[in-house]
Amino acid sequence: MTRHISRRSFIAGAGATAAFPVRGRASSPANPDVIVIGAGAAGLAATRALRARGLGVVTIEASNRIGGRAHTDTSIFGVPYDVGAHWLHSAEENPFVEYAEENGFDVYEAPEEFDLYVGNKRATEEQAERYYAAYEAVVHSIARAGQAGRDVAPSVLVPDGLEWHALVHLVLGAYSMGKDFDAFSCVDWWSGNDGTDFYCREGFGTLVAHWARGIDVELGTRASRVVWDGNGISVETSKGTISAKACIVTVSTGVLAGGGLQFTPALPLATREAFNSISMGLYNHIMLQFADNVLGTSDDRYVHYLIDLQGDKPPRGAGLLTNVGGSALTLADVGGGFARELETEGAAASIDFARGELRRIYGSGIDRSFIKGHATAWGRNRLTAGSYASAEPGAFAYRKVLRQPVGERIWFAGEACSRHNWATVAGARESGLDVAAKVRAAL
């Protein structure tokens, strides 16, 4: 039983580590000042802030719901299942925690302890000590490099081939960044905030949808092109062209890098480079439902296990969160290159993989209680093209480029634009508010 070392605790020297009514077309103005593309946390926050200041805003969303990557499903398992964001990170400063408490949601601190297994046995004290030592050594290497401004990949610094390396790689890479150790920058990693995590029993997506009640959004309206050649902006959408003075683009860098939204004339080269440089990681949930608490763990219990070393290949393993919210649901989350592999193989293969991992730890008896599973595929989702973004090695400077407007008419917002809370819902909201203030000042 221990805690993970966090980025900031390293510096502190602290040792170890639904559905709500949304729309009302009537109040979207015919000649808006601003068009907001995307109704995730960033677009919703920007919309509300601008409208509160009296600006005319049309917010369009390609899918048929708001929330984007923050969404809770209740239809698959009959209980809340966060298909995207689940952890309310940095709870001390996360406004969604306060909002939840004020609005009667059941939010609570995430237990940080975890069970550690080697095969089907609990790790011995000695094995656990070796894992903690390996984990600490890697965190310290990445943190030191990040702090020193070394914009390199962790793979450059961290020796592989050590007994617990694959698990450490999984926990700090795939499970946290959605990327393997060769695909993100130490400086970027270091720039991220962290702190205590909270859960919302009703689902983080449910909470976001509640927070966004009353914000008018044009659902089922996909933007295909932003034209900015004359004065102002025109956005071509699946439901016609809308013109305004400015536009806020909140779609992911994955969508932008993949050409899911076109710009005429083309955006400056540096901006286009930024879409590729602040690239999307992949992090997928594989959720397994059991009839009862067949794993015998406490609620929201993390389980880690020794993963076989596979040379320099991405670790083939999952981060387990058992008895999610006390619901007999268990998450087996995968990230990075291995998640990509599983996503290509499909949902059935992903579920088989997750069941196999649990079987190896808890025995085949778990099969008797198994009801069904579900696997997300955020990489194949063309409205996200990945899970969340981080800087490629050597590309940290592009974070700043992404935050710069183009022609004083096109602003980018969203999780990737947050300075310190990137890859989070709170960071997306913060970025939306930040950009809304700039747009208001510019107009």
Which parts of this chain interact with ligand FAD (CB under 6 A)?
A: 37-43, 60-63, 68-70, 84-87, 89, 222-223, 250-252, 255, 260-261, 283, 285, 376, 378, 383-384, 387-388, 414-415, 423-426, 428
* 82 or 151: CB nearest ligand FAD: 82
Distance CA 218, CA 161 (A): 52
* 63 or 297: CB nearest ligand FAD: 63
* 123 or 439: CB nearest ligand FAD: 439
Distance CA 79, CA 327 (A): 8
Tell the smallest beta-carbon distance from residue 164 to ligand FAD (Å). Answer: 24
Tell the smallest beta-carbon distance from residue 70 to ligand FAD (Å). Answer: 4
Asked if 3 and 132 touch (Cβ cutoff 8 Å), the reply is no
Identify which of 195, 128, 131 has the alpha carbon closest to the alpha carbon of residue 168. Answer: 131
Tell the smallest beta-carbon distance from residue 261 to ligand FAD (Å). Answer: 5
Helical H segments across 320-404, by residue range: 336-345, 347-362, 366-369, 398-402
Percent helix, strand, coil in the chain, to 5, is 35, 20, 45
Neighbour tally for 94: CB within 10 Å: 26
Element (H, E) at 147: helix 125-147
Tell the smallest beta-carbon distance from residue 68 to ligand FAD (Å). Answer: 2
Identify which of 442, 443, 419, 418 has the alpha carbon closest to the alpha carbon of residue 432. Answer: 418
Distance CA 292, CA 372 (A): 13
* 260 or 337: CB nearest ligand FAD: 260
* 77 or 131: CB nearest ligand FAD: 77
Tell the smallest beta-carbon distance from residue 381 to ligand FAD (Å). Answer: 8
Distance CA 55, CA 375 (A): 41
Tell the smallest beta-carbon distance from residue 38 to ligand FAD (Å). Answer: 3
Tell the smallest beta-carbon distance from residue 358 to ligand FAD (Å). Answer: 20
Identify which of 429, 296, 419 has the alpha carbon closest to the alpha carbon of residue 369. Answer: 296
* 395 or 413: CB nearest ligand FAD: 413
Tell the smallest beta-carbon distance from residue 161 to ligand FAD (Å). Answer: 30
Tell the smallest beta-carbon distance from residue 428 to ligand FAD (Å). Answer: 3
> What separation in angstroms does the CA of 339 have from each of 201, 254, 281?
26, 16, 10
* 134 or 172: CB nearest ligand FAD: 172
* Dihedral of alpha carbons 54, 60, 65, 66, sign: negative
Asked if 46 and 36 touch (Cβ cutoff 8 Å), the reply is yes
Distance CA 272, CA 238 (A): 24
Identify which of 37, 385, 43 has the alpha carbon closest to the alpha carbon of residue 222. Answer: 37
The gap from C-alpha 111 to its chain's centroid, in whole angstroms, comes to 20
Tell the smallest beta-carbon distance from residue 329 to ligand FAD (Å). Answer: 15
* 138 or 223: CB nearest ligand FAD: 223
Pairing of strands 262-264, 283-284: unpaired
Asked if 185 and 80 touch (Cβ cutoff 8 Å), the reply is no
Distance CA 59, CA 38 (A): 7
* 198 or 305: CB nearest ligand FAD: 198
Tell the smallest beta-carbon distance from residue 365 to ligand FAD (Å). Answer: 29
* 79 or 158: CB nearest ligand FAD: 79
For 231-348, where are the E strands, in sequence order?
Answer: 233-237, 240-244, 246-249, 262-264, 278-281, 283-284, 286-290, 301-305, 319-322, 329-335
* 69 or 210: CB nearest ligand FAD: 69
* 89 or 301: CB nearest ligand FAD: 89
Tell the smallest beta-carbon distance from residue 157 to ligand FAD (Å). Answer: 26
